[in-house]
Amino acid sequence: MSDYKKVDGVMIAHSLVSGPEGWETVKFTISKVTFNTGLEDSLFQMKK
């Protein structure tokens, strides 16, 4: 994980490289981060 940027006061990695023993087989680049947009409070309530 690398390319950390502050988003709403939280440092978030915007780049991730994955692969066995240093081989770059998969690379993700995040262009936009948003938190909790459009989520209803009911989604976080425990079921009885």
In the chain, domain spans? 2-33
Which of the residues in the chain have pLDDT under 50? none
Cα three-residue angle 31-25-13, rounded to 5 degrees:
30
Cα three-residue angle 41-38-29, rounded to 5 degrees:
120
| Cβ proximity of 30 and 17 under 8 Å | no
Rounded to two decimals, the pTM is 0.63
**Can you tell me the distance from the alpha carbon of 15 to that of 20, in angstroms, rounded to the nearest whole number?**
17
| Cβ proximity of 19 and 26 under 8 Å | yes
